[in-house]
Amino acid sequence: MPINAIRSLYFPKFRNLMYTHTLLSTAFWLQQIVVGWLVFDQTKSPLFTSLAIGIDTIPILFGGFIGGSIVDRFNPKKCIIFVTVGQFIGITTLVAMMYLNLFSIWYIYPIVFFMGSTWVVYEPAKITLGMKLVDKDSITNIFGMWICGFNLPRIVSSILAGYLIVFIGVKFALLVESLIIFCAFLSIALMDYQHSFTQKTKISTSEIYTDIKNLIRIIKNSDILTGFFLLSFIPIFLLLPSTTGLLPVYASDVLELDARGLGSLQAFSGIGQITGIFVIGMLKQNRMSKYAIWCIYASACFGTFFAISNIYYLSILFIMFVNFCIGVFHNSSAFIMFTNIDEHYRGRLAGLQISSFGLFIVGTTLSGGLANVYGPSISTLTSMVLIIATSSIILAKFRTIYSFQ
């Protein structure tokens, strides 16, 4: 049976969680455009720009699994409230510094780093809470809803950010972001949710170590989990740094666009991912593994076309198809992994997955450094070759994922 693309939205409490997620995603994409454009405008450095966009993933790299362990033991709603408060403190600090003329471009890095540290618990809390708010038949759908809730704001925020920067200025754009985060706080704080687990007041280092050991054992004992977990590193480490981290550089230097053009590229990236989500939602569940594998290779092909294009409308088309493939891959691989692990380990699996997002900063540093020397096109082409090579090695090692039903 095809997956009902909007089934989970029939549950009022899940809709409330989606409001919060959509608002936080709107703020995130505003920040990506504004900060990326601000840093590149002042430094003209692909490396510094990539670092500003990706530095918020460093805490996730080292703390993501801890976040998953915390969420499995505490109220996930309170964890999300913590995220919104941390995000609000970070962005209002940045806004206040700019309005008080205390701002320096180098202050962006520690502030964005701090905001990233609050994301450590968000992904596992969102997954754990969301799966409790819908029935069993709707669980397959919520991953697509979250990606849509992440990418619909990408379309609106990207275009909005470009126009705000051009016509009103960076300070006002960041002020808008702070107001959106405050609305996200109100949305989750007012949601009626009673946590059913016995809450602990603290978590020991030995418990975290045991959690890590047990989860790794579970993943290692399943070729399906191991194969898809390794494949999930590829978009984060190789694809996104080249197509997202370097996007301000492409917009300014290759396509000769202003902030509105950068916003358009981000917007069509979001359209691509959302389209991918709705397409996968209409296809059969027993072919999810094949869809994921096809899209890894297709993303590298379209990424290659994007790297060599210097025509605006062709670049929009190629970046949209790259993100279509990312949307299909993320939704299908998440469905496979989270439905093939015990529900008591889902928070920890989400924590381990979000730790892998910390590789984004490694990828952006390498792609930005390569772009500094050889230009963004060579940097992106190198990444596409590596995507094909590493995917082929993983699939040769774990052949059973081809036939997974």
Residue 379: CB atoms within 10 Å: 25
Q: Which residues pair with 284 in a beta bridge?
A: 2
Q: SS3 breakdown of the chain: % helix, strand, coil, rounded to 5?
A: 85, 0, 15
Fill in the amino acid letter for 179. Answer: L
The DSSP symbol for 197 reads S
* The pLDDT of residue 308: 93
Distance CA 241, CA 247 (A): 9
Superfamily of domain covering 14-191+203-403: MFS general substrate transporter like domains (1.20.1250.20)
376-397 and 223-231 helices, crossing angle to 10°: 170
3-state secondary structure of 27: helix
Q: Per-residue confidence of the chain (405 residues) as pLDDT tens digits? A: 344 556 677 788 888 888 999 999 999 889 888 888 888 888 888 888 888 887 887 887 766 667 767 777 778 888 899 999 999 999 999 888 888 887 787 888 999 999 988 888 888 888 888 888 877 667 667 777 777 788 788 888 888 888 888 888 888 889 999 999 999 999 998 887 765 555 555 556 676 677 778 778 888 888 888 888 888 888 888 888 888 878 888 888 888 888 888 888 988 988 998 888 778 767 666 677 788 889 999 999 999 999 999 999 999 999 999 999 988 888 788 778 877 777 667 667 776 777 777 677 788 888 888 988 898 899 999 999 999 999 999 888 887 776 655
Q: Which of 29, 321, 315, 249 is nearest to 156 (CA)?
A: 29
* The pLDDT of residue 285: 66
* The pLDDT of residue 243: 83
What is the per-residue DSSP string for 208-265? Answer: HHHHHHHHHHHHHT-HHHHHHHHHTHHIIIIIHIIIIITHHHIIIIIS---HHHHHHH
Q: Which of 366, 372, 371, 358 is nearest to 386 (CA)?
A: 366
CA 277 to chain centroid: 14
- Own/partner contacts of 172-176, CB < 8 Å, gap of 24 or more, are 173/30, 173/34, 174/30, 174/31, 174/34, 174/91, 174/94, 174/95, 174/98, 175/95, 176/30
**Rounded to 5 degrees, what are φ and ψ at 398?**
-115, 70
- Which pair of tokens denotes residue 97? 């510094």
Q: Which of 154, 170, 178 is nearest to 25 (CA)?
A: 154
Output the CA–CA distances (angstroms, integers) from residue 5 to 1, 15, 24, 128, 150, in the order listed.
Answer: 12, 14, 22, 20, 15
* The pLDDT of residue 107: 85
| Residue 35, burial from CB neighbour count under 10 angstroms (0-12, 13-18, 19+) | buried
Distance CA 262, CA 256 (A): 10
Q: Which residues pair with 2 in a beta bridge?
A: 284
* The pLDDT of residue 195: 59
